[in-house]
Amino acid sequence: MYYPMYFDPTYILVLIGVVICLIASAKMNSTFSRYSRVRKHSGMTGRDAAEQILHREGLYDVRIEHISGNLTDHYDPRTKTLRLSDATYNSTSVAALGVAAHECGHAVQHATGYVPLKLRSSLVPVANFGSSIAWPLIILGFFFNSSTTSSLFINLGILAFSLAVLFQIVTLPVEFDASHRALKILGNTGMLYEDEVRDTRKVLTAAALTYVAGAASAILQLLRILLLTGNRRND
């Protein structure tokens, strides 16, 4: 597919994806910043809240560690380690408690064998490999004169990139469920007042939108690849 003066109209899809991700990220940062200034009534830190939630769920073998950075919080199922960032670990804000509870939600998912989490974990290596090898395979496919060989490499590249897209899609129910578990725990245990739970929901909803944006961006990139390679795949 040739475009005069090197203009590629399909690049608009990439730009749309970038804009979506930037908007979602800005929304997340502004929401977290706002509610990180709202202190919860209990004065409990993110670390204390995480420990209390884990113990209430019967999880005594999960370690809690402090990790540098802002919003770098995550749960590592390989080592059963919950890592809380600078903005969460010692903070007493409702935003920090929401993030800590969300990561605890992932720990509970792991302990209960939540299927989407298992699927996402199994996709990590192939998704990473697929995202790194996809474009080289596709570009290599354009160099072959044989339509059969060209189509083979291009289709392999598309398949590889599709695995990365699948990872983004599978991530959505994992993150939504972790937030649902977090809000349920916070509401049922009385760790937060009702108005604080509402504020926490806003933080977790903003965070969830970043994953939706990531999935949408990946799908748009896959669509672009399909449009760019349409003629060669059909030869």
Catalytic machinery residues: 103
Q: Please tell me whether residue 74 adopts helix, strand or coil conformation.
A: strand
Which positions ≥6 away from 230 have C-beta within 8 Å?
Answer: 1
Look at the block and give the residue holding tokens 């669509």: 223
CB contact burial 162-192 (16+ within 10 A = b; e otherwise): bbbbbbbebbbebbbbbbebbbebbbeeebb
Q: Output helix, strand, coil percentages for the chain, rounded to the nearest 5.
A: 75, 5, 20
Which positions ≥6 away from 87 have C-beta within 8 Å?
Answer: 32, 36, 70, 71, 95, 96, 99
Quote the CA–CA distance of 79 and 61 in Å, as a whole number: 10
DSSP string for 19-47 = HHHHHHHHHHHHHHHHHTTSB-TT---HH
Q: Find, among 15, 37, 73, the residue nearest to 217 by Cα.
A: 15
Quote the CA–CA distance of 109 and 102 in Å, as a whole number: 11
Residues 14 and 225 sit within 8 Å (Cβ to Cβ)? no
